[in-house]
Amino acid sequence: MKFSRVAIASIGYVIPEVEITSDWIESELRDVYDRLKLPPGRLEGMSGIASRRIWKDGTRLSNCSIASCQAALEAARFPEALLSEIGCLIHASVCREYLEPATACRVHHHVGLGDQCWVYDVSNACLGIVNGAAQIATLIESGAIRAGLVVGTEDSRGLLRATLEQLRSDPGLTRQSIKPAFASLTIGSGSCAWLLVDREWWLGVGGESQGAGVLGAVARSKTEFHELCQSDTDQAGSGMLPTMQTDSEQLLEAGVQTGSATFFGLLGELGWSVDQVDATICHQVGAAHRRRILEALGVPLSKDFSTFRHTGNTGSVALPTAFAMAIESGFVGTGDRVALLGIGSGVNSVMLGLDYGSVAVKGVGTQSPR
Catalytic residue among 100, 200, 227, 295: 100
253 belongs to the catalytic site: no
CA pair distance 104, 96, nearest whole angstrom: 9
Q: How far out from the chain centre does Cα 64 lie?
A: 14
The alpha-helical segments, DSSP class H, found in the chain are: 22-28, 30-36, 42-47, 61-76, 103-111, 128-142, 157-168, 199-204, 248-270, 287-297, 308-311, 318-329
Of 37, 46, 40, the C-alpha closest to 25 is 40
Interior/surface letters 123-137, b for 16+ CB within 10 angstroms, e for the rest: bbbbbbbbbbbbbbb
For helices 128-142 and 318-329, the axis angle rounded to 10 degrees is 80
CA 5 to chain centre: 24
Q: Are 61 and 103 in contact (CB under 8 A)?
A: yes
Q: Answer yes or no: 126 catalytic.
A: yes
Are 289 and 304 in contact, with CB atoms under 8 Å apart?
A: no
Neighbours of 302 (CB within 10 A): 7
Q: How many CB atoms are closer than 10 A to CB 260?
A: 16
CB 150 within 8 A of CB 129: yes
Secondary structure letter of residue 117 according to DSSP:
S
The residues that bridge with 126 in the sheet, in sequence order, are 124
Rounded to whole angstroms, how far apart are CA atoms 30 and 47? 19
Select which of 88, 95, 126, 229 is catalytic: 126
Q: Which amino acid is at 193?
A: A
Question: What are the catalytic residues?
Answer: 100, 126
